[in-house]
Each structure stands twice: as structure tokens, then as C-alpha cells.
Structure 1
């Protein structure tokens, strides 16, 4: 996968999203080509882009249940993309209006490329895992192997490298991994390509959002070695992002989107089996229903940090500033195949305010019963708890 750089951004701004969209039985490039621009103001409805992972559940359930319309904004059927770069290209080219995006990727788009985007809410918490081949007994067994990540700037890459270093291993890029030297090669694959790569032995493991981890267990081609939520308590993998233009020109639409997503999160938390059925029968997610059900309601395990319940995806929309700060600090220690210089001049404490507009989600949380209704502290503050 090529690195998303300024040339890519310019190409996207010129309208190259037809190169990126994949239908998956939901919508395709033709839909993007005919959707037009400025949909919030034209009346054709906002366009949502997503990857087929449970991280997108709030956006998809909100559409399936008519929550966007009930909140006062029309939304077209969500468009499925196979990879993060193609989703970002379409988003920056104004071909989709609302997306769930990897949080570190959002930081890169804003601060490395200068994209005028705003995070308006978290899409979920937890929901990712490191899945390894059946013969890999522990992290040390990954030495000399390749491990797949969904994108360089992802919480998956950040946390995988922390896990590897904690096990005495060293992640490498564009270098043949060596068991003797204790190195592990990193390779970017789209989530849909990860399970086949594990099954054929191309990679010794992958770290990604569900239901791809649950699917590997059900098909008995892999086992979950570590839930990311057991390493970073209630972390955000994906966040809900819009362009600044939409905030400036139609804040009522942004509020409606946030209200719909927040309401969907609350419903999913209380109705996980029903949510899995909605995602499956509505053909929003292509994975089989058992995998989606397992992903939304992972059976209790013995987490390495008792009481964290990191195996279970959560749905709480408030974006905590301390998380952004801690993430930016961790990104500085992360190996990627690309330029990291944009991090050098960043003040981690200032990134959150620059990227986030939390006015909408604060109103949405109040509308849906207040912080306690989402298991959040009344103060909407917290201390980050991260381990290897």
C-alpha cells in the first residue's frame, strides 16, 4: 500500500474517489460518482463511508434504524470500502461526508497533511485483538515472522509494537525478520485480506478490529493471543470524523449525526445480539452472523488486567483529551513506513483541541441520559491506563 502523502491529498481533492470505493453488495464507485457534492445543503442526504468492521456499528445501526432521519438529517445508504487509504481519499475528496477513521490516522491527516477535519465523537472503545496462527504459543513465537496491521497510523500498530517490545522483540519495516535477532516484520494488509494470509502462512499473526478475529477463531485458523483492550483500557480505535466545512455550514446536520450515532451506541450496548442481526441481515457487514455476534459479545475470558473486560467492544462516544495526548506520545515511539517528522513539533496536549469539536457530543450525551447512561464519569474526565 502506498503512503498517503501530499500528492495523494491533492489527487483526492481533485475528485479521485472513484478509484477507491468498493461496493461489497452495498454501494460502489458509481454511487459516489452520481452522489454529487455538498449533500447536506442540496437535500440529497449525507454520505457515510465505512470499513466492514464492528467499529462502524454505530453509524450502520443508526442508518438501519432510521436514527439519522429521526434526528433531522437525511443520510444515504453507507458506502463500504476495503481499506483505510481509499476511505480517506474519498473523504478528503468530498465524496463521503461522515466516516469512522482510525484515531492515529485522523491525527496524521490533520497535522501532517493539514486536512481540515474534525473529530466529533468516538465510534467505540476496545474491539480489536492480536490473532496468531494456532502454532504460535506466545508473542515470542512471532520472532522471524510477519505480522499484519491494517494501517501504519493505527492504534493496532502502536499497541502491537508495545506488546512486541514488552516481549523482548523488535518490530522492523522493509527488513527480513529474523528469529535469531528477535525481529518481527510489519506488513500492511486490508482487514479482509488478513484471515486468508494467516490461513496460508503468509503472516504469523494480525492485529485488527473484529469481526476478523472472531472469524479466525470460528474457522479455527487462528487464536486470539491478546485483546488490545487488555493493554489500553477502554481505548478508542475509530472515531467519527467530518470535514470542517460541514461544521461551519451546517452545524445542525452535524448535531443530528452525533445524536443518531450516540443513540445507536446506547442501543447496541443493551441489545448486542439484536445489533448483530441488524448488521448481518441488513448486509452492512459481509461476515457471517456467528462471527458478528461473537465480536459484539465476546465470551468472558481471563484478562491480564482483571476487571478491565478488554475483550468486549464498548460504545461510549465522549472523546477524552487525555487519550489523545497519550496517543500522540505513543505515536512518537512507533515505527512506520513513512514520514514521522510531523510529530516532532506537536504539543501532545494541544492536539486534541485542534482536532476535536466536542460541543455536539456533549449535547448528545445529555440528550440520552447523561454520562452515567454510557458508563462515563460525570466529570467527563479520566486517567489513561496503559500497559504492555
Structure 2
């Protein structure tokens, strides 16, 4: 299949942001549990607003074959495949009716809407997916990787080495995030100790982790409140554009082609409407293939219809040139400086992530991790049956720069 030019369909724009009403699909006990979870995770808010704010849609009978599939997303380039699939009409081509994607302002509100059945498909931080399945016992599955790379550690101009962060604070988007896992490994490799809920100490070489809304990260860095932050684009590109900070290290240069967000579907959709789920996956994988080959066009589509950031910032995030970051890239052959779209969910990554999270400082309930076997977690959480067929129908693994369904994880802090 060849997709060298944008689909002529006119893409629909994003819907209104989620409201702050209590979710109609939860009873009081469930809502309190969700609220406690959000409070425990801390720092999940994407912008101002209450945690677990609901959108205006409500849960519905997922056995209705005519009901449109509902997408939830955050306004970041991580959402690219889900949005391109809608904007280019790929879901419609696969015979699937998809509602106008709904934008959420926080990971917590997106998570709540998904778990309670208000949206059917989302992109989600993979560590959060683990928490949903094992911490909340939610009926959800990872059906593909949404994207790889796409994040970085951005620091203030005065930070020239990792050692300069001793006695400073670093902002992270969420405790349950690959960002938190990677930055802690980097800090420890650099002789620093990540801490939480305490003031950082240069003498003790500690660095305090602060969950923070990404929209607040730029001003916090500019005002000297934090020494740096690790987050998805386009917030790193925005810091460069505003000359507030610089890229210290791309996370894709630390963990080769690491997963960040995964594509998640509700179990009800997979069980009750398997043909719709399969068609949706075909559209998503086609969107991934098109996006990695048509980056400027993808950026223009996102800027025009789905994301609120300036077009130049979105464009930079999707089309980064390694030559502009030669002094920070240690593994140029990894091409970790920009987001990529590789759908296959590698078991080796799930296993390494589970093992790594057990060694990561997380200010949240972690009881579910104690007896969690990494291989079993992959088998129970990941359903690769749909994406396997979709990859073949779009041309095979080579379309995405992949050669096998197995790989060896490369991590170099």
C-alpha cells in the first residue's frame, strides 16, 4: 500500500475539552477510588483543572454495531497516529465510523474517561497502562504501540552536564511514565540520587522529582524553579523556540526506540465488536506508516485541526534534524532524536519496563508490582492479534523499519 500524498478528505477538528462534571459512569465508591489514585500519582494534570474531570460523553452499550468508535487524546505529538487516522479518513476506508476525537487536558481525565467507558480507544503512557490493568483491575488491553521516542530531558542554559542538576529539581509528567523510569536511570548512572518529597541537596547529590503539568514546565524552567524537565514533544521544541532551555538528552538516545504511549482499547470493544476493532487497527497502522514517511504533512494536519501549539513547534517536533543536536546525541545510529511510529508491541520491552518500574521511585501505590511477573504481564495486558494482521496488510514489518517481532533492548544511560 502506498500513501505518498495526504488524503484529500477535509479532517474534522477536535471537540471541546473535557468538562469538570463528575463522571456519570462511576458510582461514588469508584469515583473516590479514582480520585485517590489521581492524588497518589500526583502531577498528572496537563493543565489547570480538577483531577479525573469527565468529558461530556457517557458510557454506552458497546454491543451496538452502529455506534461510532470514540477516541480520546492529549494535545501532544504522541497522539499523531490516532489523529492522522481520523484526519486522513483511514478508519472510514476500513469501514469503521469514528467520532470526532475528544481532546483531554490531563492524563488523569483521559484515564478516567477510558476506564469508565466514555471513550473506546486512547493513547496512554505504558506504565499507566500497567497500573490500569493491575492496580485498578480495569478491563483494558494494549493492542499496539502508538509511537516510539518523542521525548527528551530539557534543561536550563546553565546546565551543561548531568552533575549540574545536583541540588536541583526535575519535573516529570507523571510517576507512571517512561520519562520517570528513564530519568531515574540516567541520574543514578551519573552518580545522583533521585528523591521525592524533600528538598534537593547539592552536598548529597540528590535531585528532587516534581510531577508537574507540562504546560507549567516552561515557565518553571524559565523562572529557575526547576533545573530541567523530561516530557513529550512539542514541549521540548517549545523550550528551544522560546530560548528557555535546550535539549540535554533525547530519551530515545538512552533507550533505543523505546515505547512511550501505547494504543489501548477497552475489553468490551475487542470482545463485542471484533470486526470494528480490527478495522480500527488497520486504519491506525496505516496512519503510522503514512506519518513516518510524510512528517511535514502530518505536522500540518495536526496543527490545522487537532493540536493547539504553534505550527512551527509541531513541525520541528516531527521533523527533527540530528545534525542540530550532534553535541547531545551519543548513539546517532539509533535516530532517537525524533518521534517514530512502530506499532509492534515487543515483549522484551514490557519485561524490561516491569523490572525497571520495580526499581523506580514512585509516589503512588505499588503493591500490585510485588508479585508481577514480567512475562505474564505481557501475556495478560497485550493483545497483538489485531496489529499483527494490520502490519501485514500495510506491507509488513519493513515498512516501519522493523525486521522481527523479537528484539534485544538497548539501554545506555
**Same topology, TM > 0.5:** yes
Deviation at 1:201, TM superposition (A): 2.0
Aligned residue in 1 for 2:14: none
Counterpart in 1 of 2:316? 294
Residue 124 of structure 1 aligns to a residue whose secondary structure is: coil
Matched, 1:140 2:160: no
Q: State the partner residue of 2:16.
A: none
- Give the equivalent residue in structure 1 for 2:78: 55
Residues 62 and 273 of structure 2 are in contact (CA less than 8 Å); yes or no, is this contact kept in structure 1?
Answer: no
Supply the distance in 2 between the matched residues of 1:43 and 1:239 (Cα, whole angstroms).
26
Q: Output aligned runs, 1:256-335, within 5 Å.
A: 256-282=279-305, 284-300=306-322, 301-302=325-326, 303-335=329-361
Describe the SS at the equivalent of 1:120.
strand
Deviation per residue, 1:265-318 (Å, 9 max, x gap): 111111100110000011x11111111111101111332123111102111100
* Preserved contact between residue 23 and residue 81 of structure 1 (Cα < 8 Å): no
Q: Residues 141 and 9 (structure 1 numbering): CA distance in 2 closer, same or farther, change over 3 Å?
A: farther
TM norm structure 1: 0.91
Matched, 1:166 2:189: yes
Secondary structure (helix, strand or coil) at the match of 2:210 reads strand
Partner Cα distance (1:98, 1:346) in 2? 25
Total equivalences in the alignment: 372
Distance in 1 of aligned mates of 2:216 and 2:47: 16
d(CA) in 2 for partners of 1:23, 1:227: 24
Shift of 1:78: 1.1
User: 1:350 corresponds to which residue?
Assistant: 376
Displacement, 1:139?
1.2
Contact 1:82 1:192 in 2 (8 A): no
Q: Say which of 387, 391, 395 aligns to 1:361.
A: 387
User: Matches of residues 121-160 of structure 1 in structure 2 within 5 Å?
Assistant: 121-160=144-183
Partner of 1:382: 407
The two structures, once aligned, show a CA RMSD in angstroms of 2.4
Whole-Å Cα distance in 1 between the matches of residues 34 and 242 of structure 2?
42
Large movers: runs of 4+ above 4 Å:
6-9, 12-15, 20-24
**Alpha-carbon distance in 2 for matches of 1:8, 1:204:** 40
Question: Aligned to 2:64, what secondary structure does the other structure show?
Answer: helix
> Which whole-Å deviations, capped at 9, do the CAs of 1:184-239 have from their partners, x for residues lacking one?
11111122222222122222111011110011001100101000001100010000
- 1:11 has 2:31 as partner: yes
Structure 2 spans left out of the alignment, 5+ residues: 1-25, 36-43
Shift of 1:326: 0.6
**DSSP-derived class of the 2:179 partner:** helix
How far is the alpha carbon of 1:8 from its aligned partner? 9.3
Inter-partner Cα distance in structure 1 for 2:376 and 2:139: 16
| 1:44 Cα offset (Å) | 3.9
**Cα distance between partner residues in 2 of 1:292 and 1:129:** 15
Residue 80 of structure 1: CA displacement?
Answer: 1.3
